[in-house]
Amino acid sequence: TDYGSSLTVSLPAALQPHQPFQIIVRYITADGPAIWWLDPELTYGNAKPFVFTQGHSVCNRSFFPCFDTPAVKCTYSATVKAPAGIQVLMSATQSTYLEEEGVYQFYMEYPVPAYLVALVAGDLIHADIGPRSRVWAEPCLLPTAISKLSGMVERWLTAAESLYGPYIWGRYDIVFLPPSFPIVAMENPCLTFIISSILESDEFLIIDVIHEVAHSWFGNAVTNATWEEMWLSEGLATYAQRRITTETYGAAFTCLETAFRLDALHRQMKLLGEDNPVSKLQVKLEPGVNPSNLMNLFTYEKGYCFVYYLSQLCGDPRHFDSFLRAYIEKYKFTSVVAQDLLDSFLNFFPELKEQCVESKAGLEFERWLNATGPPLAEPDLSQGSSLTRPVETLFKLWTTEPLDSVAAASSVDLTKWRTFQTVLFLDRLLDGSPLPHEVIKKLSECYSSQLDSMNAEIRIRWLQIVVRNDYYPDLYKVRRFLENQMSRMYTIPLYEDLCTGTLKSFALEIFYQTQNQLHPNLRKTIQQILSQGLNPLPAIDTTAVTTDTPAMVLEDKVSEATNGAISLRDVNVSA
C-alpha cells in the first residue's frame, strides 16, 4: 500500500529482558513518498540534481525501516556518499566530511521521532547569519537569504529562550529548498527546511521561521505521542510563535496575524460544516487514513485558542510561560498525550485545580478536546485594532451598496500597508466573490497595478479574485503568474479556481505549456484537478503544443478538489 508493509523480527527465545541486541536490515529504496528527486531543471540554478526528504507524517518508512510513530524516539547516525560538488545536510547535531572518499557522516545525539530524520543534497552553499545559525541555499539565492535573515534568527532564538528555557539542539540552521518542496516549512531539528518561494514575502517568512523556531520546544523536544493529537505540537507551537512575535514585534502585529489566521479558520469551518469530525482537537484516526490528511487549521488555530484560553486562566501570560518552561523540562525528549499537558497544568496551578476550571460550564477541557465546531473562546485582538480597523473600513467601502464611495476607497495606498493587512483585505473580497461587475472593474482600476509589484502571497489572492469573478481584462496576469510558478502553494489554488468556473480550457492550455517545469508529483495533482468529472487526461507530447494549439474543451462541473485550494491558501502549511 501507500503506507508500506510491516517488517516483523522474531527475537531469539533465549534473549533475556533488557539484554542489548542488534538488528541489521539490508534494504534498497527508490522513489517513495518521503524522497523527492529533482532534475537540474527543477532547481533555481539549473546546474545540478537535487534531492530532499519530507518525513511528516508517515513518509519516512519509505526512506528507511523505522518505528514510524511519534510515540517512539531514538538517536540516529547516517553515512552518506555523494558525488563531488554535491553538498549533503541532515537534521543532526554532529557532522563530518571525508573529502577524499566523498562521504558525509552524521549523528543526532538526542532522541527524535522518525519523522524528524531529514536529508537534503544539492548545489548548496552557506553563510553564517548569527553565532549559532547559518543559511544554506543555491548560490543564486544565498544573497537574498542573507539579507532577509542576518541577525534575525538569533534575535528570535533569544526571545524564545527567555520564555521557554535553553535551546537544546545546539545549532539552528536553515536550508532553502527549490519550489517543489511540498509544504512551506518543516521543523527538522538543527536544520529547518523552508521553501525558497517564501523569501519574497517578508512577513510570511518571519512568521514561518519563528513558528519552526517554536517547534524546537513544542514538537521536537516534547512531541505528541499520537497523530490524533497533533494540536499538542501545532497549537502549542502557534501559541509560542505568537508570544515570540509579541516580544519582538509588538502586540499589534501579533493580533493582525492572528486575525488573518482566525478569519481563515472560520472560512474553513463554513466550508466543512460545524459538525465535521476533523474540527475536533482529538481526531479519530481511522485505519488506512494518512495522518497528514488531518493537518488543517483546527490543528493550528483551534489548538492555539485552547492554549490561549489556558494562559488566560492564569491571569498573566508570564505565569503561563513559567508553566510551559516546567512542562518542557519535565517531558523533553519524550512523547505525551493531552492528559499529560492538562494534568501538569492543574498541578502547576493548584488554585485553578481547586476552582475546578477543567469543568467550567461551556468551557470544559473535555469539550475543548472533543467537540466539533469553532473554538469555544477566541482571544481578544483589540490591541491590533490600529492595523485591522483600516482593513475593515476599506472592505466596507467596497461592499456597501450603492457603490458611491469609490473616491475614498481609491485614495487608499495599499503599498503603505503591511502584507498581512493586504492579504486580510483580499481574503475578505475573495470570500464575497463573485462581486458585482462594477465593483471588480473599479477594484482593478484602483489596485491592480499596485498589486503587480507586491509579493506572491498578495498576488495569488488578487488573481483568485480575478478568476472567481471571470474578470477577463486581468486574465493575462493569471497566465503570466502560472508561467513563472513551480510551487504547489502558488499553483494549486489557481488551477482549482479555474476549473471550478468557466475557465477550464484556459487552465488546460496553460498547463500543457508549463507542465515540463513542474515536479512530477505536482504535475499529477494538477492533472487530477483538470480531470474532475472527465475521462483521464491523455499523455500529451508537449513539444508539439504551441500557444496556438486549441485547448481541449472541458465540460463545466464544480471541482471536487476545491477544498484543497482553501486549505492550501489558508493553512500556508508549516508542519
Indicate which residue of 104, 172, 239, 300 is catalytic: 300
Whole-number Å distance between alpha carbons of 51 and 49: 7
Return all residues near 78 (Cβ < 8 A) that are at least 6 apart: 90, 92, 105, 106, 107, 119
Residue 215 marked as a ligand binder: yes
| Residue 9: all three cell numbers together | 523480527
- From the candidates 138, 187, 212, 457, give the one annotated as an active-site residue: 212
State yes or no: is 110 an active-site residue. no
Sorted by sequence, the CB contacts under 8 Å of residue 259 that are 6+ apart come out as 381, 384, 388, 424
Enumerate residues 6+ apart whose C-beta is below 8 A from 147: none
Residues 6+ apart with CB under 8 A from 114: 55, 60, 61, 66, 67, 68, 69, 72
Dihedral sign for Cα atoms in the order 132, 146, 35, 535: positive
C-alpha 422/C-alpha 427 separation (Å) is 8
Q: Is 300 marked active-site?
A: yes
234 is in an annotated binding site: yes
Please check whether residue 492 is in contact with residue 564, taking contact to mean a CB–CB distance below 8 angstroms.
Answer: yes
Compute CA 450 distance to the chain's CA centroid, rounded to the nearest angstrom. Answer: 27
Question: Is the separation of the CB atoms in 303 and 374 below 8 Å?
Answer: no
Q: Give the amino acid at 492.
A: I
Write down how long the chain is: 575
Phi, psi of 36 (to 5 degrees): -115, 110
- Phi first, then psi, for residue 482 (nearest 5°) are -70, -30
The reply, when asked if residue 211 is annotated as ligand binding, is: yes
Q: Which residues are annotated as a binding site?
A: 211, 215, 234
Which residues are part of a known binding site for Zn(2+)? 211, 215, 234
**Which residues are part of the catalytic machinery?**
212, 300
